[in-house]
Amino acid sequence: MGAVDLLDAQKLLADLTEPQRQAATHMDGPLLIVAGAGSGKTRVITRRVAYLMSRGIPGSSILAITFTNKAAGEMKSRVGQVLGRELRDFGRLDQPWPLICTFHSLGLRILRHYADKVGLAANFSVYDTADQERVVKEAVKAAELSTENFPPSMVLGQISNAKNRLQLAKDFAASAHDFAGRNIARIYAQYEKLLAKNHAVDFDDLPMRTVLGFRDHADMLAEVQGRFQYILIDEYQDTNHAQYMMAHLLALKHRNVCVVGDPDQSIYAWRGADIRNILDFEKDYPDAKVVRLEQNYRSTKAILAIASKLIARNRQRKDKALWTQNPDGVPAQLLICDSEHDEAAAVVQRLEELHRQGHDWSQMAVFYRVNALMRVMEDALRRARIPYRVARGVAFFQRKEIKDVLAYLRVIANPADEVSLQRIINTPARGISDATVKQLQVHAAASSAGLWDVMLRVGQIAGLQERARKAVAQFAEMVRRWQSLPRSPVRDLLEDVVRTSGYEKHLRKLGGQELDELGTVNELITSAAEYDQQNPEGSLEHYLAQVALVSDVDGLKDNGGAVTLMTLHAAKGLEFPVVAIIGLEEGLLPHSRVMEHPEQLEEERRLCFVGITRAQQRLILSQARSRMTRGQTLRTIASRFLAEMPAELLDVLCVGTQSHRQEVEEDLEEPALEFRRGQLVRHARFGVGRIMEISRSGQHTRAVIEFQRAGRKTLVLQYADLEPID
């Protein structure tokens, strides 16, 4: 797809600002685009791809990497619109147009392409979280340990972190120095053996195994490097070490790597993201060109000023001055409420007022730091009869009936996948008991064979009851018939599986709630039909891979007429005319786990910044002065982040009883005790320090103090118990 004659470079650049134009037209050498919130980075990336092609760069030599399938889909659509043609994706590494995909999708394509070289079966499965938990439970048992002492979710978190650091099981074992670490290393080793037995990989294997393949096979790396002359990476601040190495190795040959990101929006350290990857880009590439996109097209001046003042407190960032030509807007509303119930009611009241002013419910979102805050908010919305939805996109593919049906497809594609095989062998019930499965597993272990291989020769196994033998043989024959059918279109195969497996009849027979489950299965068939339309040359394996790579945000579809509830982490990349952020209290935002860790506290501030910059026109912030936790009502302290916002842009409203209002007014009128800027003070825990700044927000006066031993801290003066020294 040369497309040189089809693209007018000047037309491509006509509506871009000068910084956007610089970013889009940079040709050779590394490029860092520092893209502020709402600065039109997707437009720049889209135009950059098209501009490269207008200069004669073959589309097949351009690689663009995003973080979600949804973002990749949107980018493909936009690039297609600019090029005047649809960009189809066949799930392969070699395509005649720009490859736009996620890191994990790229890893999957590379591993499929070089499966023999990296020691994988060509039809390997990709396990999702639920599948991984089943495998890790087996691994814990194989290591002769207890899931009570080593919960699967905790173990998987450790294994995931290790893989993100490119640590194999043996490397993890070498670095484990305590009892828990050594045992997790044993589980990790067993987990890897079980994955290999099932011809499966997990989500984190996709980047890790790709990098290890590059390191071990220079010819493989050279081929992939030669394939992609220009590389673009979006959301670079969210890359972990494995993804960083993957990108770095790919870019070594041509060095035409363009990364786009914003350190101020790096909020995924808890899943391995390393902000240093973007902060140190110019160290990795000293000749890099840097372009800053500072014009915000999303928010009002007031919202942008609040966000900018807040994030300026962070040290780990790249300087930029966000600005906008949008209207001034109105100050944010800060609701100081008596309790969490008052808070929810007050937020709902504000949303109702905005609805009466013309905002649709679908234009509103409520964000929170932790899911525990969601329940009271949901109750208040229900009582007010306001339609709402909770953004949990991945839930569809985690439903039992969906995982059941997908397990059938996975066994058809990869019969060595014993996690899926055991799930469907007697679902629906077909006379194959747990005892029969156990006998088959024992025989498989004794003969060093897989469960599927044993099922194919079930007639040779002694000790099985004839009824069970017949049921196993019939099941195996049913799977073999499906394996003989065409793998595309996927919809046809899926419909056949649902019907002839007896699963549809099973759901109809149960009736009641299961009819809803049948509707969900029908929705899965619809999704397969959509896949077939979008991927005319697709395959069953590619469809299963797409499903396995779905993330929370990917599943979030436009849903007109409903207020959206979601965590601040899930809000990344979205925008709403009206945004409410609840629970702005110490211990919630910032979270209690980060109080004594400056780097983690900065991430919490970035998280708050991300939430604020999702708002286009109206911003509502709220704090409950008391909140029930585990049956106890506890007093809270306002988030320090409120003190870091410009007071003149916060319209404070107290919500609660008269006595509460009076208490708030008294707090607001309270002087900054006897302290002043520049004064030396002593704290019982932090020692001696100097007050650098004093500010007031809501009902609290705060001081930023530089302690000699403990560094810089922000303390609420009313509760800090400071002793003046001079």
263 with 275: CB under 8 angstroms? yes
620 with 347: CB under 8 angstroms? yes
The token duo for 290 is 């840097």
Cβ neighbour number for residue 445 with a 10 Å cutoff: 11
| Residue 65: alpha-carbon gap to chain centroid | 15
Long-range interactions of 146-154: CB distance < 8 A, separation 24+:
150/183, 150/184, 150/187
Q: 234 catalytic, yes or no?
A: yes
564 with 389: CB under 8 angstroms? yes
DSSP 642-680: HHTS-GGGEEEEEES-HHHHHHHHHHHH---TT--TT-E
In whole angstroms, give the CA distance from residue 147 to residue 568. 31
Q: 243 catalytic, yes or no?
A: no
Q: Which of 710, 706, 684 is nearest to 693 (CA)?
A: 706
Q: Would you give the DSSP letter of residue 560?
A: T
Q: 41 catalytic, yes or no?
A: yes
Q: 340 catalytic, yes or no?
A: no
The catalytic residue among 22, 243, 265, 623 is: 265
The token duo for 199 is 């011809």
The catalytic residue among 42, 316, 534, 600 is: 42
Q: 235 catalytic, yes or no?
A: yes
Q: Would you give the DSSP letter of residue 331?
A: P
In whole angstroms, give the CA distance from residue 246 to residue 106. 10
Say how many Å lie between the first and final Cα of the chain, rounded. 74
Q: CA torsion sign, 285 to 291 to 297 to 300?
A: positive
The token duo for 56 is 């004669």
In whole angstroms, give the CA distance from residue 498 to residue 484. 16
The catalytic residue among 41, 47, 423, 491 is: 41
In whole angstroms, give the CA distance from residue 225 to residue 233. 15
User: Does residue 133 sit in helix, strand or coil?
Assistant: helix
The catalytic residue among 320, 572, 614, 702 is: 614
In whole angstroms, give the CA distance from residue 202 to residue 545. 11
649 with 332: CB under 8 angstroms? yes
Q: Would you give the DSSP letter of residue 323?
A: B
The catalytic residue among 235, 238, 340, 401 is: 235
Max intra-chain CA distance, the chain:
92
- 412 to 199, 480, 490: CA distances (angstroms): 13, 8, 12
The catalytic residue among 202, 234, 264, 541 is: 234
Q: Are strands 650-655 and 332-337 parallel, antiparallel or unpaired?
A: parallel
- 509 to 478, 503, 512, 520: CA distances (angstroms): 21, 10, 9, 16
Query: Phi and psi (nearest 5°) for 335?
Result: -95, 115
Q: Are strands 626-629 and 632-635 parallel, antiparallel or unpaired?
A: antiparallel
Q: 158 catalytic, yes or no?
A: no
Cβ neighbour number for residue 158 with a 10 Å cutoff: 18
Active site residues: 41-42, 234-235, 265, 614
